[in-house]
Structure 1
Amino acid sequence: MSISAENTIYDLIGVGVGPFNLGLASLLEPVDTLKVKFFEAKERFNWHEGLLLEDCHLQVPFMADLVTMADPTSPYSYLNYLHAQGRLLQFYFYENFQIPRVEYNRYCQWVSEKLSNLAFSHQVVGIEVVDSLFRIVVKNGHTGTQASYLARNIVLGVGTVPNWPRAASDFKNSADCAHSSQYMFVKPELQRKKHITVIGGGQSAAEVFLDLLRDQPQFGYEINWLTRSNGFFPMEYSKLGLEHFSPDYVEHFYGLPDTQRKSILAKQGNWYKGISFSTIKEIYDCLYARSIDQPNRFVLQACSQLEKIVRVDDGFQLQFQHLELQQTFDVKTEALVLGTGYQYVFPACLSDLRPSIEFDAENRPCITRDYMLKTSADIPGMIFVQNGEMHSHGIAAPDLGLGAYRSAVIINKLLGKERYPARTRTVFQNFGIADQWRDSARNA
């Protein structure tokens, strides 16, 4: 494969185009002093396309779009998208802050088609340092040819990957064992089975279970839903609780010792791992209606941790441990859907630069307050990270609502001045010690 070189030196090259890098690209579009380019391996923008169920909604308000929280006057806002579609008045009567996830995806596609700084079907396959610049090697998905680009800075927006339990690692490529991220692609095959088991206690597992439950009378299968959590709990969604998804909390959390951050994160799962109240209500209402004149053909059980999976003739035998009873039990099923979340994986395209990047004791990249990888002196520019910093910046890292703020911080850092406001003191509560008491603060 030939490698051609482009003479242009970019101020920033983006790796991946998910919601966060798409938002960054949108806010950079009017900044004519910076030359930028974003590369994405997919043919077009698609966000969690395997879970684009028509009746599922975002868990954040529509203002958590690509740009509004940094620049509400941007032409790439969700409201302007509706205006361009001739649907703004309909949205006004809709009277719902949470919008359909399918429509959020279409909104992002609409924005991506308007931007001039994106290149789809182009995968970044390697990055190295050449003459005090980053040399980015990009593979064209259509032709297979490679080209190299030079940039002063990089932003990583490759996102997270499905988290597979160790017990299921041998079944990743099987048609009857799927991660929830692939649910819509395997749904027709699943619904031909007599018995389906869903594992996980978060929003994705709940949405898959509800979708299967609604179609159960048509197809006649049985469904299990098991989670190792203590119950099928709702996500924390109180107004003061939501203030933890703010620049103020990022500032507070980043200033804590690493060991304390880890301890705090372990206790905050209910802020981002739970199930929406509306989904729980829909599930219960469906179960109740089904109970009136039909036998129960489902099992819901918490405190159940998957330990082992064995392939049998008609599917799988699953071994679980009940975490309260400390007993093991077996479940036979013909198909398995794993709603087991996502995890951040260090991008393979950065392998050559890894020796120059600082990692913590748990092999996680060290990240500055301004969302940059900490690197040695031989790295010439800045490498920004989007949605890979929960361990250092807190639970808001994957939250769409803080994406525009993080983009504002990155753009301001690139420019060396404030183009977009990136304020703190935006919430009512204090996460540290209030100013009037700080002089009296002392170690306990």
Structure 2
Amino acid sequence: MNPAQSPDPDAPRDLVGIGIGPANLSLAALADPLGGLDTVFYDQRPTFGWHPGLLIDGATLQVPFLADLVSLTDPTSPWTFLNYLRSRERLFPFYFAERFHIQRAEYDAYCRWVCDNLPGLHFGHQVDAVRWNPERDLFEVDFTQLDTDGEAEALGRTHTRNVVLGIGTEPYVPDPLKPLVEAPGVPVLHAADYLDHRAALLAAEHVTVVGIGQSGAEIFLDLLRNKPAGREKLHWLGRTEAFTPMEYSKLGLEQFTPDHTRYFHALPEPTRDRIVDGQWQLHKGIDAATIAAVHDELYRRTLHGGWPDAVLTPGVRVRTAGRVATTKIELHLEHGRQDSRSRLTTDAVVLATGYRERPLDRILAGLDPYMRRDNQERPRIDEDHRLVLDPSVTGTVYVQNAETHTHGVGAPDLGLAPWRSALILNSLTGGEAYALPARTAFTTFGLTQRRHVPPPREAPALTPLVDDRR
């Protein structure tokens, strides 16, 4: 029997999850102790991996360890980070290490531990289409089972009452550099692939890092630390006008709370778009400790006289780019405030240009006739993270980490994932599978503070919930 199929192939699932990143993994972990829920999660990758190309030694999460998959909703869950440490007999070493922010590699290992022990997760399964079957009042989810080489091995179909999308983000490459990234043999790569090419980059005579956010800073620092003093030959540039620290004040961080999410969702669409554009420093700045580490390393290299051969230039955009001969890359740069232009010749380019939400249209093409869209033709998503569909569709499609336009910059935040998962589970079960706080911030966003009241929902066809944690 295909392990991704129910024992009865005609029996509908309660929920099919598409994608197994931190968002859907959080949902799967919080759904695990709830009896009566038949769930399955698919991911086309062979195994779990959380930004593997950026697991640079020493790089840390930008959120505390409590922002694991479950703790901020259910700290008693068996899937907490602390329980992971306990299972590895590492709880005392962690206690004495006094680390509030853990390394990225440790967070990745924790998520892998959850994947290894949590049932209902199926890697190597690529979801090809989602359709609504009005005759059965169910969604049809078509998938391809892949072999270890990523080749199609078998086709399958699952019927489900509900779907949750957690397909995450994809690397963003600016248009001027797309031809270089796509050309074979040209040493231009996205930061997502950094570790795979680190040895070649360290061997290159001159390396340029484009993008002055957190990943750009970590990559520049890693290259700097491993280049000989006086022969660094590094250039770090980006469009932002300064090497700006990330907003990390206590009240500033309250914009990553459910209270702010509710406030944001209730605003008019044009207002929401303006707010998102102005909140870049909440997630695109550089951690203050990383900025300090870069400066410390540059300063250390001046102790015996001279300056490191490293250029740091903010406020610069790449207009065009091309190859010089066969091994060099030429970047045509423009400085906005100076209104000046120049050319930079380099041997390799790392694009620390961030990520963008994966568009939902491809995987939801079969639901297009039922979808409601906003003025920018983006899917409308309600407060409970549900796609707004035609009323004839009695099932629900939930959305995770693809709703920045409706829920704000907190959509991809790891700390909000457990709260969003609990919202989805409460909506799915028609009850209060998880009790959620009425208030989460000292700040009152707006003249009145909205409290979340779940909409009335007809009791779903589920087995009564059994909470065996108590």
Instruction: Please indicate, yes or no, whether the TM-score normalized by the shorter chain is above 0.5.
Output: yes
Aligned pair partner of 1:329 in 339, 342, 354: 342
Q: What pairs with 1:242-321 in structure 2 (closer than 5 Å)?
A: 242-293=253-304, 295-313=307-325, 314-321=327-334
Any conservation in 2 of the 1:18–1:45 contact (CA below 8 Å)?
Answer: yes
Q: Distance in 2 between matches of 1:372 and 1:163?
A: 26
CA displacement, residues 22-48 of structure 1 (integer Å, 9 cap, x when unaligned): 010000111111100000111111100
Aligned pair partner of 2:171 in 162, 167, 181: 162
Aligned pair partner of 1:70 in 69, 73, 95: 73
Query: What are structure 2's unaligned runs of at least 5 residues?
Result: 450-470
**Structure 2 residue aligned with 1:442:** none
Deviation at 1:378, TM superposition (A): 4.1
SS of match in other structure, 1:26: helix
Aligned pair partner of 1:341 in 340, 354, 374: 354
Q: Distance in 1 between matches of 2:243 and 2:322?
A: 26
Q: Distance in 2 between matches of 1:8 and 1:217?
A: 63
**Structure 2 residue aligned with 1:135:** 140
**Structure 1 residue aligned with 2:123:** 120
**Structure 2 residue aligned with 1:233:** 244
Aligned pair partner of 1:398 in 398, 409, 412: 412
Any conservation in 2 of the 1:252–1:431 contact (CA below 8 Å)?
Answer: yes
**Structure 2 residue aligned with 1:418:** 432
**Structure 2 residue aligned with 1:93:** 96
Q: Distance in 2 between matches of 1:139 and 1:107?
A: 28
**Structure 2 residue aligned with 1:104:** 107
Amino acid at match of 1:395: V
**Structure 2 residue aligned with 1:184:** 195
Instruction: Say if 2:387 is the partner of 1:365.
Output: no
**Structure 1 residue aligned with 2:444:** 430
Q: Distance in 1 between matches of 2:431 and 2:122?
A: 28
Report percent identity of matched pairs. 39
Any conservation in 1 of the 2:180–2:322 contact (CA below 8 Å)?
Answer: no
Instruction: Say if 2:221 is the partner of 1:210.
Output: yes
Deviation at 1:417, TM superposition (A): 0.6
Amino acid at match of 2:348: A
**Structure 2 residue aligned with 1:200:** 211
- CA change 1:74–1:180 in 2 (3 A) is same
TM-score by length of 1: 0.94
Larger displacement relative to structure 2 (271-280 or 4-13): 4-13
Amino acid at match of 1:53: I
- CA change 1:195–1:433 in 2 (3 A) is same
Any conservation in 1 of the 2:66–2:81 contact (CA below 8 Å)?
Answer: yes
Q: Distance in 1 between matches of 2:438 and 2:214?
A: 30
Deviation at 1:189, TM superposition (A): 2.0
TM-score by length of 2: 0.89
Any conservation in 2 of the 1:6–1:147 contact (CA below 8 Å)?
Answer: no
Q: Distance in 2 between matches of 1:249 and 1:88?
A: 34
Amino acid at match of 1:318: L
SS of match in other structure, 2:87: helix
Aligned pair partner of 2:58 in 30, 55, 67: 55
**Structure 1 residue aligned with 2:459:** none
SS of match in other structure, 2:405: helix
Amino acid at match of 2:254: E
Amino acid at match of 1:342: Y
Any conservation in 2 of the 1:52–1:101 contact (CA below 8 Å)?
Answer: yes
Q: What pairs with 1:19-30 in structure 2 (closer than 5 Å)?
A: 19-30=22-33
Q: Distance in 1 between matches of 2:395 and 2:200?
A: 48
Q: Distance in 1 between matches of 2:121 and 2:286?
A: 34
Amino acid at match of 2:91: L
Any conservation in 1 of the 2:26–2:421 contact (CA below 8 Å)?
Answer: yes
Amino acid at match of 1:298: A
SS of match in other structure, 2:330: strand
Counting matched residue pairs gives: 433
Deviation at 1:219, TM superposition (A): 11
**Structure 1 residue aligned with 2:86:** 83
Deviation at 1:16, TM superposition (A): 0.4
Q: What is the CA RMSD across the aligned residues, in angstroms?
A: 1.7
Any conservation in 1 of the 2:229–2:308 contact (CA below 8 Å)?
Answer: no
Any conservation in 1 of the 2:232–2:310 contact (CA below 8 Å)?
Answer: no
CA displacement, residues 241-283 of structure 1 (integer Å, 9 cap, x when unaligned): 1111001000111111111111111211111110001111111
Deviation at 1:295, TM superposition (A): 4.1
